[in-house]
Amino acid sequence: MEFTTSYLADAVTLLRQYKRQGERAMEQVSDEDLTRVLDPESNSIATLVKHIAGNMRSRWTDFLTSDGEKPDRNRDSEFETPPETRGQLMQVWEDGWRRVFAGLEPLTDADLTRTVTIRGEAHSVMQAINRQLLHYAAHIGQIVFLAKHLASDHWKSLSIPRRKPAEFKAQMNQ
């Protein structure tokens, strides 16, 4: 992290971190595991990616000038028929993130108090960004959880790994 007093710079940095965290989690699972569900009511990693990307396309296309819920978005279809291959999945993922950064990076501090709409409801630009930060963080948390579960004993921590008892005891004796 770099110290900043810019909300926009911080938001972009956080979103890039979420993107990378999702990618690092997905790298640790097999192609087959990308579409695996834990139970009939849960989503696969691929389904979550398709949903996030659909949301990103809708929210960030013409961010300042059109409603964030585009008329051609079919949200329910985002939870059906996920991308079948890792290549297709990553293409959907990258397209969504490209739209996020293309919508955010041109903004200035003066834009933060402008009004945008999402589903006909007025939001300040800052509120809309916060809404998306929370939404993406929640779903990327689901992706990380699923990847960690599916990778099991092959999982490599995305942050500070837990200490193993023997390692901890050895450190305490030093």
- Residue 30 neighbours by CB distance under 10 Å: 11
Q: Is residue 153 part of a domain?
A: yes
Q: Is residue 1 part of a domain?
A: no
Q: List C-alpha distances in Å: 24 to 9, 17, 27, 29, 157.
A: 23, 10, 5, 10, 9
Q: CATH number, domain at 21?
A: 1.20.120.450
Which pLDDT band, with edges at 50, 70 and 90, does 1 fall under?
low
Q: Is residue 86 part of a domain?
A: yes
pLDDT, tens digit, 9 for 90 and up, residues 99-153: 999 999 999 999 999 999 999 999 999 999 999 999 999 999 999 999 999 999 9
* Per-residue DSSP letter, 44: P
d(CA 28, CA 143): 11
Q: Is residue 2 part of a domain?
A: no
Number of domains comprising the chain:
1
Domain that holds residue 149: 7-172
pLDDT, tens digit, 9 for 90 and up, residues 40-91: 999 999 999 999 999 999 999 999 999 999 999 999 999 999 998 999 999 9
Does the pTM surpass 0.75? The reply is yes
Q: Is residue 11 part of a domain?
A: yes
